[in-house]
Amino acid sequence: MKYAFHSGSMYDIPLEEVIKKLTEYGYDAIEINGEKLPWIEDEKDIHIRSNMTEKEIKELRSLLEKNQLEVSAISAHLELIEKDPVKRSQVISHSKTLISHAKLLGTDVVHGLSGFKPENMSDEECWDILIEVIDEIVEYAEEVGVKYAFEAVVGMFINSGEKLKELRSKMTKGTLYVNFDPSHLILVKDDIPQLIREFGEDIVHVHFKDGTGETDNYEFPPVGKGEVNIPEFVKVLKEVGYDDYVSIEYEANYFGNYSSDISQVAKESIEIMKDYIE
């Protein structure tokens, strides 16, 4: 497997410096943040944005190549269930632009999530809008040679392995791939090894992340300090033949009371991953 680090926790460090640090620490790749995270107040701190020019993206690729760092994926987590047709169109356009950026950066994975269920909207309405949006995004992704993947996220409309399977079964266009993140699945008491086996080769990216608690009271502690059985998690990934990127998505300082020295966390995390995987 290859090792990556999600740049979202390094939002206050210039991307050029993040890239140099990850290369120095021995990572194979960076997972580039393209989402507005709870702790990011200024949109400029999002490392890859839809308003970036093609020239800026190509300069970023040159910087990555200079540092011999690949891109494992773009994290394009947007609220997809938009009732307003204009806002819905904007979300689709934003997602397509990040997919185009991914292609220019040499990665074939962009992943997203459903977002929360809006108030005063029925499950049926949510499903209809979500399928419409994802079908269009997936269709575009396949046209340009990118795999659009999804992850189940605690509290959101698609919040479990079962809901993710239902979503995939309802789609009418293309394949919705999987960004497998065990930290959310452990909170809903999902059978993580079984889900890995069921999703199998459709898993195209993995978050190496731990979780503990319940759906309304949880933490995402450093790997090995939560409830995910990490050795079994790794074992089953190998069983199904997964040999691609495993990415540290560190949120333990925000969802928990753990280290805020993100550079040190990144430096230590690759050794933790290697201990478990190798």
**Which class is 2-277 in CATH?**
alpha beta
Q: Kindly report, residue by residue over 228-246, the tens digit of the pLDDT.
A: 999 999 999 999 999 999 9
At 104-124, the pLDDT tens digits run 999 999 999 999 999 999 999
Provide the pLDDT for residue 173.
Answer: 87
- Domain ranges, ordered by start, for the chain: 2-277
User: Using CA atoms, how far apart are residues 15 and 20, in angstroms rounded to an integer?
Assistant: 9
Instruction: Provide the 3-class DSSP secondary structure of residue 96.
Output: helix
DSSP state of 229: -
The rounded distance, in Å, linking the Cα atoms of 194 and 41 is 38
Q: Which residue positions in the chain have pLDDT lower than 70?
A: none
C-alpha distances out from residue 124 to 81, 84, 112, 163, 273, Å = 12, 16, 21, 13, 41
